[in-house]
Amino acid sequence: MPDVSILNVLLYGQKIGTLTYLGGEKTVFAFTDDYISDPNRPTLSLSFKDQLGDLITDHRSFKIKLMPFFSNLLPEGHLRTYLAEKADLHPTREFFLMWVLGRDLPGAVTVEPADGEAWPPVDDSELTPEEQAQAHDDILRFSLAGVQLKFSAISDASGGLTIPASGVGGDWIVKLPSQEFQGVPENEFSMMSLARMVGISVPAIDLVNVADIGNLPSGVDRLGQHAFIIERFDRTEGGSVHIEDFAQVFGVFAEDKYKKASLANIANVVATESEGQDTAELIRRLVFNTLIGNGDMHLKNWSLIYPDGHTARLAPAYDFVSTIPYIPGDQFALNYSRTRTFAGLIKDELEHLAAKAALPQKLVLDTAKETVALFLEKWSSEKANLPMSADVVEAIDAHLQTLPIVKDA
């Protein structure tokens, strides 16, 4: 293996920096001079801005992991293990994972080898060049960040979904049934449908039969009849749209996504960087996920989107699942402001959150009240019509009886 390998980092197809492997499992990121000197440069991440809004250009090296912004572009958990095995790489060696996954990352970032090499020179690989090329093709089918087995697919002329043979691109995210819990696709489809009913911004979604998904690679377990699909809001007819999650915003590695920040911290960023309607949308989502008992709204499940390449907006909603049927006694993933317990989201906690995040208190309280009322109306009329299991309905019904914000309503 060479002592130094370089990956070019592109934003909207333009080179803006490099990731350099220094040997000894150390890597460092650097912006290009052109990006630094461009007064109209597109935003890569709020984490690269200092308190005055100026670009931070001095970055330390990281060992084994890439720096948090890039590390969070890579898959987690089962999906990372699966991909690393396909590529004959150790799952902790993030520079080399980025080498093979960088062509289809979330948002408008792509990463490619500077010297044009299609496969990283990993010294512990026993694959032949032909096997490496095939593994490279396979791994690209699954290059999106996340824990579940989820991947990018292209809708075909017949209305079905096909996993691209080359694995690059795709306008839908397909999420297969969970290996641990029953009925997650049906649960997520139901919760996201309810979210849209209460006024939350939700991309196009659907449930599809797993058997109707073309070109699924071997080795992917099919543990249920349905897969949940959601349209990629970072892909449009005009090209890629840049996004980043709040683990990237706060410079937090994925393993710390349940800590290091609160909803009040997220709300402060949204209020500072975006528009008033996004603040109301954030409160609406916070209350909605409390009502359904979603304990997995961690830092990676809140994102910003840059429609004009520069200004941050709250990205559309995703990953809304009621977790309480699977994890009784679950809590919110992050502190609201001082507490994580669902029952702790009372008027006083909302007022504390508003004060800590510098939000208009009336906006926060009025939005919360309206969301509770609308949710209860839609839940009562629609819960029998949505495809979630009876266990999910029973768990949410029981959960609602424990929430002061419901009793107050």
Active site residues: 296
Residue 304, strand partner residues: 244, 314
The residue assigned the tokens 């994102």 is 303
Residue among 174, 266, 278 nearest 226 (CA): 174
Helix, strand, coil share of the chain (percent; to 5) = 35, 15, 45
Residue 54 CB contacts under 8 Å (≥ 6 apart), including other chains:
none
Burial 104-133 (b: 16+ CB within 10 A, else e): bbbbbbbbbbeeeeebbebeebeeeeeebe
Residue among 71, 49, 51 nearest 306 (CA): 49
What is the C-alpha separation between 139 and 163, in angstroms, rounded?
A: 12
DSSP result, 1-36: --S-EEEEEEETTEEEEEEEEEETTEEEEEE-HHHH
The residue assigned the tokens 């073309």 is 214
Q: 331: which 2 tokens?
A: 């809590």
What is the C-alpha separation between 35 and 44, in angstroms, rounded?
A: 10
Residue 396 CB contacts under 8 Å (≥ 6 apart), including other chains:
291, 292, 293, 322, 324, 325, 379, 383
Mode of pairing for the β-strands spanning 161-162 and 213-214 = parallel
3-state class of 174 per DSSP? strand
What is the C-alpha separation between 388 and 375, in angstroms, rounded?
A: 16
